[in-house]
Amino acid sequence: MARLFLITACLAVLMIGSFADKEYEAHGHDHHHHHHAHDGHDHHDLESHKELFGAKVHDGKEQDEKLRIIANKIDTDRDGKVSHDEMRVYVEQRVKALNDREADDLISTLDPKNTNKITFDAYSREYFGNIERSPFNNPDKSNLNLRENKRLYLADKAKWEFVDTDGDLALTYDEFRAFLRPEENEGLAKIEIDSTINEYDEDNDGKISNNEYRTMTEAEAGQADSLTSEIDTNNDGFGDFDEFSAYYLPSIEKTVNEETDHLMKECDTNKDGYCTPDEIASVYTTFAGSQITDFGADLEKTKEEL
């Protein structure tokens, strides 16, 4: 509510640039990632994506042909067109595969000896570096970078302890996978959103005003953004727990549905409810910026690899 992200700074850098990034952001996926890259957009994927699209653009027939190959994979009933249901099934497969790969990559980094245990010390060193923890006790909130790093660190520690069933501050692989996906666990989601609201709710009214939100976003990404109706869905001028949860920690089901609807809307150019391979190829930028092609990485594979 994207990684790993020191990590917040890394994400801010990685999410600037390339036309496909902008395409992805254009339909509501420019969220600040409160739980680092644990939201499905891991730093490795985004860096690869940036390298892929930052240096070159759509190169014509070969890339279109690769999209047609992918379209034929999505078209499971082989009727020459992709239905909404077929698109949704494939999007869900790709989202879950990317999440699994992210977890596998992190596990191999944090536990290279395959002990089935990942310590919080190893995790915090990897994602927060060797930062000095003592300044976290500094009550001065004017240092927004320190303030946000402290919040992230303490929130991650609280989530870690929540899933750590035996209390040894070391997670099994299954526990670590749960830790990475707070949107799938009500308790973890509550820790994540409460952490944000409690940190930036200056008047302690249990919600985030526009001014408080501007402070929050400046602390996260170095740029103050205003609260919009995309978060403030009831238009009362505040972001509350439920609104923040829906925006920053959408369920996999919601993510899949939104991505499917977006892709179908873009590629169904004749509005018959289906997308042909030609229609999909005609909106190359949309698919190149989507999880359905691993943010364009699939389009760098050979045709035989697809």
Q: Based on the structure, what is the number of domains in the chain? A: 1
pLDDT digits (tens, 9 = 90+) for 190-219: 999 999 999 999 999 999 999 999 999 999
| 2 part of a folded domain | no
SS3 state of residue 304: coil
| 219 part of a folded domain | yes
Give the pLDDT of residue 140.
73
| 305 part of a folded domain | no
| 155 part of a folded domain | yes
Dihedral Cα 93, 99, 105, 111, nearest 10 deg: -120
pLDDT(60) > 60 = yes
pLDDT digits (tens, 9 = 90+) for 139-188: 678 889 889 999 999 999 999 999 999 999 899 999 999 999 999 999 99
Integer Cα distance of 296 and 306 in angstroms: 12
pTM for this predicted structure: 0.77
Give the pLDDT of residue 141.
81
Give the pLDDT of residue 304.
87
- First vs last Cα of the chain: how many Å apart? 31
> Where in 78-200 does DSSP place strands (E)?
118-119, 170-171
Dihedral Cα 107, 15, 1, 27, nearest 10 deg: -130
pLDDT(121) > 50 = yes
Q: Is the pLDDT higher at 183 or at 30?
A: 183
Give the pLDDT of residue 133.
67
pLDDT digits (tens, 9 = 90+) for 94-107: 999 999 999 999 99
Quickly state the pLDDT bin for 58 (edges 50, 70, 90): low
Q: Which residue in this structure is represented by tokens 């892929």?
A: 52
pLDDT digits (tens, 9 = 90+) for 220-248: 999 999 999 999 999 999 999 999 999 99
Q: Which domain holds residue 141?
A: 7-300
pLDDT digits (tens, 9 = 90+) for 66-91: 999 999 999 999 999 999 999 999 99
| 274 part of a folded domain | yes
| 53 part of a folded domain | yes
| 26 part of a folded domain | yes
